Amino acid sequence: MRKNKQSTRSLVAFLVTWSFLLLTVTGVVLYIVPQGRVAYWVHWSLAGMEKAQWGWVHMMFGGVFIVTGILHLYFNWKPFKRYLADRVKGHLEMKREIFVATALTLIILLLSAFNLPPASWVIDLNDWLKSAWVTSPELEPPFGHAEEVSLAGLSKRMDLDLDKVLAELRSQGMQIEGKGDSLEKIARRNHTTPMTLYGFIRQHMRQRSDQLEAMTPEAIEAKYAGTGLGRKSLEELCRTVGIDLQRGLDKLAAADIQAQGSDNTREVADRYGLTPLELLQIMMQR
């Protein structure tokens, strides 16, 4: 019986150790992985696993670590109680260390919650690493989870000619069941990525620049909300929505907003107390 208990304790100890190691690895990977909208768009993978799979592994071993950690504490409860009793008696005088550890924990918690240095540096590095994967505007999806929308829905939202879209994909050798297919389904079926497919069909947009600039603020919000505008430069933003850069900059200047094409959209918006979407609405106004 004692041997079985010792064997179980060893099993739990090893599970805690392996779970900790796996959580460390998956935590690092999820820290540097591109934003979900980009990862799913380009079918990002590492060691044969895509972002969702790394997330599943991290979640499962987080649960294993919690359960085995509780069991580990259970099997070592007596020595743990003795350890605490020694410190209560003042044998190793741990009061100061406990207060310092508690204070540090609270400080890190507050700095993280309010995005203040040095915690904000770690958060900013995370944002930089995730956005560093996007080296070209063409890598960006037109909106969040665009790969999951049917061809018919995508064509309607992006003002694409659906008949030409279907013809274009078939001319590229893609196997398509119909307009109800999403880019994700077509990409998986044809061993490619949604980004590649969108590169084939984006040339068939029917809307012209002058029509875009006549859009109402509500229409602009409906079309471009959640499309990652803030991560683009103003030049990339104008190219994405199909407006002339100089004309867009002139619109900003008329609203007393000074900017250049190479400026980051979010930084310009923050400087003037706006959102990237409101900045775009100014650039596209009549």
* Residue 1: per-residue pLDDT: 54
- Residue 27 domain-assigned? yes
- Asked if 222 and 254 touch (Cβ cutoff 8 Å), the reply is no
Give yes or no: residues 179 and 247 share one domain: no
- Residue 93 domain-assigned? no
Alpha-carbon distance of 132 to 278, in angstroms, equals: 25
- Residue 228 domain-assigned? yes
Give yes or no: residues 56 and 29 share one domain: yes
Planar angle of CA 40, 57, 143, nearest 5 degrees = 15
Give yes or no: residues 226 and 278 share one domain: yes
- Residue 97 domain-assigned? no
Give yes or no: residues 15 and 29 share one domain: yes
Of the three residues 171, 188, 204, the one that is the final residue of a domain is: 204
- Residue 107 domain-assigned? no
- Residue 188 domain-assigned? yes
- Residue 54 domain-assigned? yes
Query: Which residues of the chain have a pLDDT value below 70?
Result: 1-5, 86-95, 137-138, 206-215, 226, 286
The string of pLDDT tens digits covering residues 195-243 is: 999 999 988 876 544 455 456 777 777 777 767 777 788 888 888 777 8
- Asked if 237 and 251 touch (Cβ cutoff 8 Å), the reply is no
Give yes or no: residues 219 and 275 share one domain: yes
- Asked if 258 and 249 touch (Cβ cutoff 8 Å), the reply is no
Residue numbers of the domain that contains 173? 141-204
* Residue 128: per-residue pLDDT: 86
Of the three residues 49, 75, 101, the one that is the final residue of a domain is: 75
Of the three residues 28, 49, 75, the one that is the final residue of a domain is: 75
Tally of domains within the chain: 3
Give yes or no: residues 193 and 244 share one domain: no
Alpha-carbon distance of 222 to 251, in angstroms, equals: 21
* Residue 88: per-residue pLDDT: 65
Give yes or no: residues 236 and 181 share one domain: no
Give yes or no: residues 226 and 162 share one domain: no
- Residue 11 domain-assigned? yes
